[in-house]
């Protein structure tokens, strides 16, 4: 499995504070069947991570993985906040594309005060930027007006949801909204958004199974959501066809 959204590089943001903790996260990822992590530190005005530093940081962590015999492929990206996007130079932006592919991972604002940011997103997208939205299910604007998210997906945006949302870590309303997004076929990727080895650990294997009673057959979508679609995103290829739904709990209009 490929995890497109991870805070795994130590000492950069609110991810692991030490290489020791980052290695513990890597071990959990491998044990749960993840083969590839894309390190996506916060690129925002709070943490002020310098994109230029990321290759060096990733190389150091890759070396630590090798020394520990942990077989994990590590790529670089960034979870870019809209507040920082305008400040990034083109070459910095290019260094933040997921796995060196074409896609940018943009953070869906968690503040209810974010305004009509979707209009800005559409403008950016119209310039030819392919965009994956990080955790749209946690975004108040999309929760209140799902049609705004639908419009973005129809325009070509991809949605990456977070395992913790399915597991209820962000509350029942977020969990229910996540189920709705899956039901409506608005989800293109499942990522861990891992931050540590305890509260928000890596691992993609079990989250979908928890939703099986509400969306029978959803667990069968796991390979598409965690391997096939993210591989296409990294490669810049069109997403492969989704597997058949096979149950009437899914809405026909969603696909
Ligand atoms: Fe994140």
Annotated domain spans of the chain: 2-254
Q: Looking at the domain 2-254, which fold is it?
A: TIM Barrel (3.20.20)
Distance 170 CA to ligand 1 centre (A): 13
Cα 72 to Cα 74: distance, rounded to the nearest angstrom? 6
When the pLDDT of each residue in the chain is averaged and rounded to a whole number, the result is 94
Of 10-19, 60-69, 154-163, 199-208, the range with the lowest mean pLDDT is 199-208
Distance 41 CA to ligand 1 centre (A): 7
CB atoms within 10 A of CB 13: 20
Q: What percent of the chain has pLDDT over 90?
A: 89
Distance 5 CA to ligand 1 centre (A): 6
pLDDT for 95: 97
**243 CB contacts (<8 Å, ≥6 apart)?**
220, 221, 223, 224
Distance 155 CA to ligand 1 centre (A): 23
| 79 pLDDT higher than 90 | yes
Distance 246 CA to ligand 1 centre (A): 32
What's the pLDDT band for 251 if we cut at 50, 70, 90? low
Distance 249 CA to ligand 1 centre (A): 30
Cα 252 to Cα 158: distance, rounded to the nearest angstrom? 20
* Of 110, 107, 117, residue with least CA distance to 49: 107
pTM of this prediction?
Answer: 0.95
* Contact criterion met (CB below 8 Å) for 29 and 202: yes
Distance 240 CA to ligand 1 centre (A): 25
pLDDT for 247: 55
Alpha helices, DSSP H only, in the chain? 19-31, 54-67, 82-85, 90-95, 117-126, 140-144, 146-155, 163-166, 172-183, 207-210, 222-223, 229-235
Distance 66 CA to ligand 1 centre (A): 25
Distance 72 CA to ligand 1 centre (A): 19
Cα 229 to Cα 101: distance, rounded to the nearest angstrom? 13
pLDDT in tens, 33-46: 999 999 999 999 99
Distance 203 CA to ligand 1 centre (A): 14
* Contact criterion met (CB below 8 Å) for 33 and 226: no
Distance 234 CA to ligand 1 centre (A): 17
* Helix, strand, or coil (residue 80): strand
Average pLDDT of the residues in 144-166: 97
pLDDT for 206: 87
């Amino acid at each position: 499995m490929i995890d497109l959204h991870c805070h795994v590089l130590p000492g950069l943001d609110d991810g692991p504070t030490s290489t020791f903790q980052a290695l513990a996260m890597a071990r959990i990822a491998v044990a749960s069947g993840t083969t590839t992590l894309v390190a996506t530190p916060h690129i925002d005005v709070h943490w002020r991570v310098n994109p230029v530093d990321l290759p060096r940081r990733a190389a150091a962590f890759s070396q630590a993985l090798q020394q520990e015999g942990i077989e994990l492929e590590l790529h670089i990206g960034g979870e870019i906040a809209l507040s920082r996007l305008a400040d990034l130079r083109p070459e910095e932006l290019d260094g933040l594309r997921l796995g060196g592919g074409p896609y940018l991972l943009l953070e869906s604002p968690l503040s209810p005060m974010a305004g009509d940011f979707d209009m800005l997103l559409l403008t950016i997208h119209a310039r030819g930027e392919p965009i994956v939205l990080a955790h749209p299910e946690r975004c108040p604007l999309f929760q209140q007006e799902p049609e705004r998210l639908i419009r973005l997906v129809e325009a070509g945006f991809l949605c990456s949801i977070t395992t913790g949302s399915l597991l209820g870590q962000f509350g029942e309303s977020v969990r229910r909204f996540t189920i709705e997004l899956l039901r409506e076929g608005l989800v293109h990727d499942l990522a861990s958004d891992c931050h540590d080895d305890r509260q928000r650990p890596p691992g993609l294997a079990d989250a979908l199974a928890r939703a099986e009673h509400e969306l029978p057959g959803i667990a069968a979508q796991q390979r598409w959501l965690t391997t096939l679609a993210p591989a296409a995103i990294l490669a810049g290829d069109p997403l492969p066809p989704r597997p058949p739904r096979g149950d009437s709990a899914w809405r026909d209009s969603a696909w």
